[in-house]
Amino acid sequence: MAKIAVEEPFDDVKTALEEKGHEVTMFNTDENVTGYDLGVVRAINEGHNDEFTFPVVSMSGMSINDAVAAVESRLSQMQ
């Protein structure tokens, strides 16, 4: 499965993705995060799209189930 970085404080998203079989690591916004297949962040800031070396899903306005579905959809598009 995929290696996914999840921004704190979304422990519930981390748990849900782990239940789907993904390898998930939590991170803080001030960390340099690299080497992941996908990320889940609070929001995507305009002008900061190059912060990550991998695609990201924004949690803005999403429930846990919405975020997990968005991650799985994005991963299927990447294959």
Query: Which CATH number goes with the domain that contains 70?
Result: 3.40.50
Mean pLDDT of 58-64: 94
Terminal alpha carbon distance of the chain: 12
> Which domain range does residue 65 map to?
3-78
Q: What is the model's pTM?
A: 0.90
Q: Which residue has the higher pLDDT, 48 or 19?
A: 19
Output phi, psi for 67, to 5 deg: -65, -45
Into how many domains does the chain fold? 1
Query: Which of the four pLDDT bands, split at 50, 70 and 90, describes residue 52?
Result: confident
User: What whole-number distance in Å separates Cα of residue 66 and Cα of residue 53?
Assistant: 23
Residue 39 DSSP code: E
As a whole number, the mean pLDDT across the chain is 90
pLDDT greater than 90 at residue 20: yes
